[in-house]
Structure 1
Amino acid sequence: MMGEHRTFLQVLLLLAAGIVYMSSLAFALSNTTEGSGLLTLENSTSIPSNGSQESCRGVNLQETTQSISAAVDTFVGELSCKKSRNESLPEDYFKEVEQNLKLIVESSLKVYLKLGTTEPGSNVLDMFGVLDSLSLGNYSDPTFVKLWFSVKMAPLLPYVSQSFLIQLGNLDFSCSSYQELVKLMTAEVEMSQTMERKLIYSSFIKVYLSRKDSADPGCNQNVNGSEEWLNKNIGSLFFFATYEELKNISRYFSEENRWIVLLPAENVTLLLDVHSVVENATFVKAVLTHLTQSGDMEQLRVFFRSLTEVTQQNNNTFITNEAVRDTILNLTLTALAPEFENFKPEDYELWFQGYLGPVIASLQPASLLVIPGNISCESYAAM
């Protein structure tokens, strides 16, 4: 079995190399052959006397890249077929072949970007046939979508455009395939420093979930509640969604459970709405309790960054409703209490001079009991 496995991988790599060679040879012959079909010295490519080569033919590199990508697609189709038939092959076999195919795509991309044209209009995703390769299998099958994403999509994810993502969102994925794709895509972008996360949400996720022509619009079936729906269908990119969008997409969102799924920036907008929510201390307590009990300190920091920004934009220095202000301050200090032991002077300054500015008017001596009594003089001064 191992010999057969090794032979398969060797053939794969040799075929890719052979395609490069044959494509280059065919191009050379097509440009150096006259009517007789013979290669002559006069019409062969020559090196000018100044030692620099004449204009390089980037289009040949595009054709070669397309040929390599087509060969990879053939192998992906065969690998997908073997997996679907549940052939008696170990999982490591499939993983190794998948990784080798991915390496071919990654290596081809690197070579092309080094040698290829950078002319406007050249589309790397089209050249590698990313969308076309989906037709090699059943993209309603999560297993095939996972293989396709690993080999063809993940290496090229940094090059996606708005139009590509909209096209992707309009394909007939099943909800299970779509959810698999969201899981893979969000995991990949979390490791990237260059990916435009908001673009993926607005041009792919929202486009797909907003469609009314799918078998399960909004992917509401087989989901238990709003939290599970968010995890499956939007993942970590939920931060870019507004509540109105969620309410229009899924039946799991209504005014009654709004506080459960509010995002930090949207919480701020509601809390500062003088004509409605800001006068409702009970509602504010529910929102802040959910935020503080989540244990996600980054979410709490985002909330207060947004709070200070919005108050400044509204030309307010603090929240005027005393009950609301007291609620925000007391719940926040309680949530921060376990963190104070590790606070440095700059942390105290950030929170007490910055984040808590809009509610600091409610600070009372009793409020400070949650702060350790042994803090340094520098930390005390920073407050």
Structure 2
Amino acid sequence: MNRQPVTSRSWGVRWGAAWVAAAFLALAGCAREDAPGDDTPSGRDVHADTLRPPVIFDNDMDFDDAAALAHLARLHKAGQIDLRLVTVTSAGAGLPGRAIRHTRCLLEQWGLGDVPVADSRRVGVNAFPDVLRLTFEQVLTDVTPGCTASEEPSTMPAEQALINALVESERPVTLIATGPLTNVAGAIELRAAQGGDSLAPRVSHVFVVGGALRVPGGLCCGLETTFDQTQTFNPWADPAAAQATLDHFLLTDIVMVGADASNHVPIRADYIARLDAGATTPEAQFVRDLVNHPVITSAVTSGLPIFWWDPLATVAATTLDVVDYELVRIAIVQSGPSSGRTLEVGAHQGGRLVRFGISANQALFEDSFLNGLNMPIP
């Protein structure tokens, strides 16, 4: 096993097949409410902190974000990582209020109600189409029956929670961002306004979901006539935030896991069957139930493009050789038909060197994802 900890029920029928097809056409990408403050103990095991790499998960609570969170939650419980904070952005697929509710529901369900959760209601430049947001909202509602978690905003906004968690950490943190980078850019901006030092030295790696380099990007749901399909949803939603994040973490290892890599990890019927037979933990059973939702299974059986977008990033952050990378200088196009495109540029054109995922090992991903979801607790 090549695992290595990070270091340095019916709803689908009701909405109809057309809605399902639109939802998956081109998408590329109650827990404790108060996040840790500078002077607030987080309740973590200090000894365990010295052994487990600290991780922050920033997401927009799409169906695949939920699957990625399940993976991280199990690794946390198994002592492989220290999940310090989960932040939720309103700039992506999740609906304000509902997205943090789903996050709280899931962490409570998995016995991780002590993991801090924070959200922000700040939006990006471009809003995700309603058909996508409503589709994934219903999927997550259906797979969290009986949840009574609050939809109220966190008492501390995500931007400040991110700052505090980074400042508190004794060691550099791995930041995994699977939605638009609005929260991360907001934290950078807020930190500067407060007169604080750069957050960059406090982060060892940034894993970003989004981008397309040598494959088509693609938006959907009425956006095709305005944009040229070179971009994926996450950087398109907030191009300025994506660029600000790349610019800020100049001395940090930035990894982009976009369509070039995720195209190699489709959600397959055979793998759903494998989850059906082999899900032994609450986290694995949640992912099993998630991919057996009628919306997901309809997309899979219809041959629509639906992938393990966000789980690929969490597996790549914790497992060797799942994604193949090239060092590429990237700039984010800020406006026009290509807005949000991850554009390869020359050194004289600026940009930021990133490790860009160009391929992925499907078999290794599938094995590592399921093994991580089923990892025993010491």
Q: TM-score, normalised by structure 1?
A: 0.26
- Higher relative contact order by CA 8 Å / sep ≥ 6: 1 or 2? 2
Specify which structure has the higher proportion of strand: 2
Specify which structure has the higher proportion of helix: 1
Q: TM-score, normalised by structure 2?
A: 0.26
Larger Rg: 1
